[in-house]
Amino acid sequence: MLGLLLVCDAGSGHLTALRFLLWATLAFVLFAVLLPARVSACEDEFVCQGLFGHRSVCTDRLVAVCRSHGVAQRLVLRDEFGGRVEFDPRVLVANPALWRLLDEGARASAAGGSLVCGTTELRRLSERLDRETARTVFRISGLE
């Protein structure tokens, strides 16, 4: 995008150092907003790494699982140590291994009594993932 803006501005003859700085800043802000977080997990930890750092939660110590309100659907996980992770739930659809690790940790949290809010949201998410998996299997097998 930056290259296109610079070519258009240079082609019109209006490119200056100030305008270059303006376009570069605009391109960086757009990049920062649109860059998706990298989500990874291990046995008891869920990590989201963004442009400016990373956040993690202990999945076996979850306190709440909720969906953020707004245009972009985001899943928010909070643990009892104050950790908070927010990411796009489509990441779980694309990577069932992440969902399995999150689900196992959430079940351990519920069994331990720390998960006080979010079992309904997890059930809805599980149903959505099951639907998406079934659609994928039907599409691949030609039964769609």
With contact defined as beta carbons under 8 Å apart, do 108 and 60 qualify?
Answer: yes
In this structure, what token pair is assigned to residue 63? 């306190």
The predicted pLDDT at position 5 comes to 81
| DSSP designation for 74 | -
Please tell me the pTM assigned to this model.
0.72
Domain coordinates in residue numbering, the chain: 2-34, 38-141
pLDDT tens-digit series, residues 71-114: 778 889 999 999 999 888 888 888 888 888 998 998 899 899 88
Q: Residue for token digits 């996980």?
A: 77
Residue 36 has pLDDT above 80, yes or no: no
How far is it, in rounded angstroms, from Cα 107 to Cα 67? 18
Write the class of the CATH domain 38-141: mainly beta
Average pLDDT value for residue range 43-68: 88
With contact defined as beta carbons under 8 Å apart, do 89 and 71 qualify?
Answer: no
Round the average pLDDT of the chain to a whole number and report it: 87
Q: Residue for token digits 């699982």?
A: 65
Question: Which residue, among 36, 54, 56, has the nearest Cα to 46 in the 3D structure?
Answer: 56
